[in-house]
Structure 1
Amino acid sequence: MGPTPEICSELLRPLRCLIGLKQVALQRGLHFTDDLPYAAGSLLAELVHRGECRASELAQHRVVDASVVSRQVHRLEEAGLITRRPDPADRRVSLLRATPEGERELTSLEQRKAEWLSQALRDWDEDDLRRLTDLLTSAAGDLQRAAQNQNHPEGAR
């Protein structure tokens, strides 16, 4: 049957708190630079973890308009953190990939974030944290699929 709207309503509160932590990350310097917005850093992370892909694929996966990704790609390119090359299958389209500098910057940023999380969650049991990670990963995947299906109903199950 699935969860009731009432229990999902209870979930909204901690989700809002987690989303609000983005501001904490910005205030604590857990981002790249003032010239590179938080969202562009997230896009770089996605490119590093997904590998080379088209901007349209990133927009679809992030459930945002292509123009949003285009602006972020431009900033990342200017910063030397990503590069593009023509797609051999369709030379009208570019494939994007992180540069070695982009990968190094992301590794450094993620290390700072992991250290902050480690300190903030120092009283947690590691098994509990693994369970939470698994649950959040599963929930994020389901929520992302639902958002994509809402934007593209023909792809809905």
Structure 2
Amino acid sequence: MGPTLETCGELLRPLRALMGLKQVALQRGYFGDQEVPYAAAGLLAELVFRGECRASDLAHHRIVDASVVSRQVGQLEQAGLISRRPDPADRRVSLLRATPEGERAVAELERRKAEWIANALEGWEDAKVRELGRLLGDAMDDIRRHTIDEGICHADPATREGTR
């Protein structure tokens, strides 16, 4: 049956607050880095964690327009944080990958983010943080699957059952 709309509505409040805190942290410079433009940092991290892939795959996975990825790829390539090579399966397309400098930059950014969270949650036990991570990961997997993989992001709620 799944959760009620009321229960899901209650979940939206802390999720909105979490996104707001991310913006505050950005404004205060907790994640700022001269080496990696913040707008492109997520794309660089995606390449580090996913490995080599096409720009179109990144756009799909990050749920952004290809022009956004193209602009960020240009920034990252100019900074020496990613490289490209022709796709052997289709030489008209490039495969993107993080350079060792890009991997190092992402590792440093991830370390700073983890430090920020560790300081904020200093009263929490490791087991509680692991459980939160597991629950958020499970929720994001299901939301991503529902939104992207099933392709019903903009479907009319009344017709969703027929799209499965």
Q: TM-score, normalised by structure 2?
A: 0.87
Q: Which runs of 5+ in 1 are unaligned?
A: none
Alignment deviations for residues 39-74 of structure 1 (CA, whole Å, 9 cap, x no partner): 310010010000000001111111111111111111
Residue deviations 1:72-125, cap 9 Å, x none? Answer: 111111111111100000000000000000001111111111111111100011
Q: CA deviation at 1:145?
A: 1.8
Quote the Cα distance in structure 1 between the aligned partners of 2:32 and 2:45. 11
User: How many Å separate the matches in 2 of 1:58 and 1:127?
Assistant: 32
CA RMSD of aligned residues (A): 1.8
* 2:152 pairs with one of 147, 150, 153: 150
Contact 1:83–1:97 under 8 Å retained in 2: yes
* TM-score (ref. length: structure 1): 0.91
- The 5 Å alignment of 1:28-47 reads 28-33=29-34, 36=37, 38-47=38-47
Q: What fraction of aligned residue pairs are identical, expressed as a percent?
A: 63
Find out whether 1:24 has 2:24 as its counterpart: yes
Unaligned stretches of 5+ residues in structure 2: 156-162
Residue type at the aligned position of 1:97: R
Task: Report the Cα offset of residue 141 of structure 1.
Answer: 1.2
Match of 1:109 in 2: 109
SS in 1 for 2:97: strand
Following superposition of structure 1 onto structure 2, how do residues 4-153 of structure 1 map, counting pairs within 5 Å? 4-26=4-26, 27-33=28-34, 36=37, 38-148=38-148, 149-151=151-153
CA distance in 2, matches of 1:53, 1:24: 32
Runs of 4+ in structure 1 over 6 Å off:
none
* Count of equivalent residues: 154
